């Protein structure tokens, strides 16, 4: 694909992601995407055989959009300070958004998981990638003997991700970051209780 081709494809995916986030997958047509991205019908169909192919690309796009900004922070999750930085980043992000919209990957999950088996598997991989990012720092902490030998870095990473997701849901409903803060702080306090002085 040429650089110009990649740019066009990316513009189509970004437009589709925006519309599917704002109005939902079911209420987004190829025609809406075409109009927002300012491309022709034949350009859309050059890159995407159908709406299903576009949905796949949107899941990939949103997964990158959610996880990539956290990657620098993942590397520092081997200390309590690093965990707090990640917690603060997640809370600040919701504050910036005025607690609107919730997590784009969670939103795609509730729309697609029961209707599109390939999308469910793809979203499951998105969460596995996210969880692996959180786990790496905790595993380093564990390997260095700074977490109790019985602590399970993989379980702690899943717990952090679950608190983040559940906290974001209630934060979205209440338009208040407190539920997210409280949920993450409980999990961080639990991890702290497992540290070895």
Tell me how many degrees the CA angle 128-67-163 measures, rounded to the nearest 5. 65
Span 134-163, contacts to a second copy by CB under 8 A: 155-156, 158-159, 161-163
User: How far, in Å, CA of 133 to CA of 119, rounded?
Assistant: 21
Q: Does position 109 bind a second copy by CB under 8 A?
A: yes
The residue (of 27 and 64) whose beta carbon lies closer to a second copy is: 27
User: Which distant-in-sequence residues (6+ apart) come within 8 Å of 18 by Cβ?
Assistant: 36
The residue (of 107 and 136) whose beta carbon lies closer to a second copy is: 107
User: How far, in Å, CA of 127 to CA of 63, rounded?
Assistant: 9
User: Which of the stretches 8-16, 29-37, 51-59, 183-191 binds a second copy when contact is defined by CB under 8 A?
Assistant: 183-191
User: Which distant-in-sequence residues (6+ apart) come within 8 Å of 1 by Cβ?
Assistant: 9
Binding site for a second copy (CB under 8 A): 22-24, 26-27, 100-102, 106-107, 109-111, 113-115, 120, 123-124, 127, 155-156, 158-159, 161-167, 169-170, 172-175, 178-180, 182-183, 185-187, 189-190, 193
């Amino acid at each position: 694909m040429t650089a110009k081709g990649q740019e066009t494809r990316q513009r189509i995916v970004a437009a589709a992601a925006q519309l599917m986030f704002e109005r939902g997958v079911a209420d987004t047509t190829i025609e809406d995407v075409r109009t927002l991205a300012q491309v022709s019908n034949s350009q859309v169909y050059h890159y995407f055989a159908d709406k299903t192919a576009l949905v796949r690309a949107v899941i990939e796009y949103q997964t990158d959009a959610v996880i990539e900004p956290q990657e620098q922070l993942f590397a520092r999750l081997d200390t309590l300070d690093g965990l707090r930085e990640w917690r603060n980043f997640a809370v600040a992000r919701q504050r910036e958004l005025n607690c609107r919209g919730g997590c784009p990957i969670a939103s795609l999950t509730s729309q697609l998981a029961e209707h599109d088996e390939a999308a469910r598997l793809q979203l499951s991989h998105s969460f596995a990638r996210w969880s692996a990012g959180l786990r790496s720092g905790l595993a380093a902490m564990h390997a260095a003997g700074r977490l109790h030998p019985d602590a399970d870095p993989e379980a702690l990473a899943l717990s952090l991700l679950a608190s983040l997701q559940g906290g974001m849901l209630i934060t979205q409903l209440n338009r208040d970051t407190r539920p997210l803060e409280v949920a993450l702080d409980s999990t961080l306090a639990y991890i702290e209780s497992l540290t070895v002085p």
